Amino acid sequence: MTDEPLHNPHDRFFKETLGRRAIAKDFFEAYLPATVVEQLDWERLARQEGSFVDETLRERHADLLFTVPWKGKQAFLYCLFEHQRTQDPLLAYRLLRYMVRIWETEINSTPGARSLSAILPIVLHQGDKAWEISDRFGSLLELPSQDLEEIADCIPDFKYWLVDLAKRPMDDLRGGVLLRAILATVKVASGGEWVERLSELAPLLGAALKEHDVGFVKVCLEYLMRGTGDVDLRRFRSKLEQINIGEIKEEVMTLADQLIQEGQQEEARAIIRRLLTRRFGPLPAWAVEKVEQASIDDSEKWAEKILDAPSLEAVFEE
């Protein structure tokens, strides 16, 4: 289990929204089978900190773990956010790895344990194409025959519940206002031209504001700006002017301006790195650090000195 700062915008959004106990409760009650929902003690639902996802897969997966009493026993509710465009045929295998890590954590925290808590896995899929991969682990196993009763009990298998946003139209999203706003944000973000669909989100974001959850709406809009790859932030800002997001409009506009400036700064830094490397060869660590902290003014000043400077150090002299 890892417990690191949330630098990944998908992970951060997932945990700042569905990580809220009330919203998580709403999500599980809306998307788990009714027969399961009615047996769990939702008043004692509790989030567990940390992540069980492979370090190398943080750009594809984010996860949340909760405990909940189940008829005198403890159960885990494990939600995996699958936010890559291409579908992973080994997802059930990766999910099993994460589940084993949950059990390992449970064993380590309960010396002498002789049993394990049940894990109920649910996957939230963000992609723009409907999920086409089996939801059963057993489908990954290549067997010469599928109907050998003698070995059936020896073959590991489990299924996970899938919430496939690609298959669900906006008006079929379940749950309360905040949950539907989250899922709508994720759904819109998965499309290529999401800026043009911003108006589809406006009613749900407006409803969230009526529930006095200003911070929540800001998180949703920030995710769209930071978590969707290359986006024309000027076009986003222009579109934002046309929709009603009430009292937070000025703050969101300020954030958009900040991200635009950050983009311009990073573009200027990239140009300086290329020019310095071409003139002086591979850059030492101190020079790389200096460039990474440069403002646009710094980059412009250094760019004027690169051709005539006798040394790398001279470029940065005041």
In contact, 120 and 36? CB cutoff 8 Å: yes
Categorize the per-residue pLDDT at 252 as very low, low, confident or very high, splitting at 50, 70 and 90: low
- In the chain, where are the structural domains located? 1-140+153-167, 255-315
CA distances from 152 to 97, 114, 115, 142, 148 (A): 22, 25, 23, 13, 6
d(Cα 113, Cα 111) in Å, to the nearest integer? 6
Summarised one tens digit per residue, pLDDT across range 276-288 is: 998 889 999 998 8
Categorize the per-residue pLDDT at 194 as very low, low, confident or very high, splitting at 50, 70 and 90: low
pLDDT at residue 5, rounded to an integer: 42
pLDDT at residue 70, rounded to an integer: 94
pLDDT at residue 129, rounded to an integer: 83
pLDDT at residue 243, rounded to an integer: 66
Stated pTM of the model: 0.74
d(Cα 186, Cα 219) in Å, to the nearest integer? 12
Indicate the average pLDDT of the chain.
83
pLDDT at residue 3, rounded to an integer: 47
Q: Which residue has the higher pLDDT, 97 or 10?
A: 97
Helix (H) or strand (E) segment spanning residue 122: strand 118-125
pLDDT at 6 > cutoff 60: no
Summarised one tens digit per residue, pLDDT across range 31-57 is: 999 999 999 999 999 999 889 988 877
pLDDT at 172 > cutoff 80: yes
